[in-house]
Amino acid sequence: MTATEFAVEAAGWAGAALILVAYLLLSMGRLTGQSPVYQWMNVFGAAGFVVNGWWHGAIPSAALNVLWLLIGGFALWRIWKKRSSSTSAT
């Protein structure tokens, strides 16, 4: 296995772990959907899946995870916008 292949596999496994742990923490009530930690875990997890899926030619999976990443990014933007507007109001 080359270093590149190893990195691609590591990205995929790390992505899977991040998304799984994010969902576990959400289900246990430790995080909410409005938690930046939850959203960042999903963004980085999806990025790992995009790299791995693209490398292996799993285009539907890679495309789904691009959308997952964008949704997480949009959620983070909304969280940031909401927090910055409530901070500036005080």
Q: Is the dihedral of CA 74, 58, 44, 39 positive or negative?
A: positive
Domain span at 63: 3-84
Taking the C-alpha atoms of residue 31 and residue 3, their distance in angstroms, rounded to an integer, is 35
Q: What total number of domains does the chain contain? A: 1
Each residue of 2-41: pLDDT tens digit? 999 999 999 999 999 999 999 999 999 999 999 999 999 9
CA distances from 58 to 8, 68, 82 (A): 13, 15, 36
Q: Note the pTM of the prediction, 2 decimals.
A: 0.90
Rg (C-alpha) for the chain, rounded Å, is 15
Residue 90 placed within a domain: no
